Amino acid sequence: MTRTFCIANQKGGVGKTTTAISLAAGFVRAGSSTLLIDLDPQCNATSGLGLTPTTRHPLVTGEPIRRAVRKTPSGLDVLPGCRNFGDVERLASARDPNVFEKMTLHLTRETKGYDHVFIDCPPSLGPLTQSALAWSTDVLTPIQCEYFAMEGLVQMIEIIGKAMKRKSRALEYGGVVLTMCDSSLELTREVEREVRDFFGDVVFRTTIPRDVAIAEAPSYGKPIFDYAPRSRGARAYVELCLEVLERV
């Protein structure tokens, strides 16, 4: 069975796209047949891997997804994002039962050959994110170690809870990923304590540190493992991949 991970947080700048890219690239290195779907109209996951956005989105046109997929040098399959306003509107209208069912059948059929699929969502609680939640088996939420992140996480949990109730198949809460952590700061330590006290084992043991290599990698169109394999960020994402695989 294909496991589909939705990487979602309505707050921008929390490491959502970096986490989606890194986990997908890490799973490929672990021998998994993996697809990364860029559902964010900003197309950061696409450009962050050195690829170009599509002019039309296959979920809208009905084109075979594998025909639109691009492969990175590391072997990761990527369905690039789309900035076509009409297609973005059509994707956002997936709450219409007929449109949603058609897209769901297309996505399910076309991704059946993959072990794992990762969906990078836009930084919002809008229809694109809600559709991704409905298509997924697991949801992961990266949050930055700042106080405002707690407030956003509570809102995200509410949306995830509603999606769990609506879905015909089980949606599991994969966990919370703490990102941009600086253990030398009291603020980071306080936020981590509060998040772990509140959410318990839902929070991954692995934390992602602040690391300039993580910030630089997208500008070179590479995942962190290819850009700086010996960096602190690369080691942290390897550990996170292993931890996610343990939970699957």
Lowest mean pLDDT among 20-34, 127-141, 200-214, 223-237: 127-141
d(CA 201, CA 85): 40
- What's the mean pLDDT in 135-160? 83
93 vs 106 pLDDT, higher one: 106
Give me the chain's average pLDDT, please: 90
Q: Using CB atoms within 10 Å of the CB of residue 150, give its burial: 0 to 12 exposed, 13 to 18 middle, 19+ buried.
A: middle
Side chain identity, residue 165: K
Q: How many CA atoms lie within 13 A of 62 on its CB side?
A: 4
Q: What is the phi-psi region of residue 62: left when phi exceeds 0, alpha when psi lies from -120 to 50, beta otherwise?
A: left
pLDDT of residue 237: 98
Q: By three-state DSSP, how is residue 179 classified?
A: strand
**Is the confidence at residue 236, as pLDDT, over 60?**
yes
pLDDT of residue 81: 93
pLDDT of residue 169: 58
What percentage of the chain reaches a pLDDT higher than 90? 58
Lowest mean pLDDT among 48-62, 120-134, 165-179, 219-233: 165-179
Token output for 211: 């690391």
pLDDT digits (tens, 9 = 90+) for 90-103: 777 656 677 778 88
d(CA 7, CA 3): 13
pLDDT digits (tens, 9 = 90+) for 12-70: 889 999 999 999 999 999 999 999 999 999 999 999 999 999 998 888 888 899 899 99
- What's the mean pLDDT in 121-125? 89
The CA-based angle 119-35-8, given to 5 degrees, is 15
Other residues' Cβ atoms within 10 Å of the Cβ of residue 190 = 12
DSSP 229: T
- What's the mean pLDDT in 149-158? 75
> CB neighbours of 192 closer than 8 A, spacing ≥ 6?
145, 178, 181, 207
* Per-residue CA distances from 155 to 127, 159, 202, 237 (Å): 15, 7, 16, 26
- What's the mean pLDDT in 144-149? 80
Q: By three-state DSSP, how is residue 187 classified?
A: helix
**Is the confidence at residue 166, as pLDDT, over 80?**
no
**What are the E-state strand segments in 48-151?**
70-71, 77-79, 116-120, 138-144
pLDDT of residue 29: 96
pLDDT of residue 153: 76
What is the CATH superfamily name and number for domain 3-247? P-loop containing nucleotide triphosphate hydrolases (3.40.50.300)
pLDDT of residue 95: 61
- What's the mean pLDDT in 81-85? 88
205-208 CB contacts, 8 Å cutoff, 24+ apart: 205/243, 206/177, 206/236, 206/239, 206/240, 206/243, 207/145, 207/177, 207/178, 207/179, 207/181, 207/236, 208/15, 208/19, 208/142, 208/177, 208/178, 208/179, 208/180, 208/181, 208/233, 208/236, 208/237, 208/240
pLDDT of residue 140: 95
Token output for 54: 């599509």
Side chain identity, residue 4: T
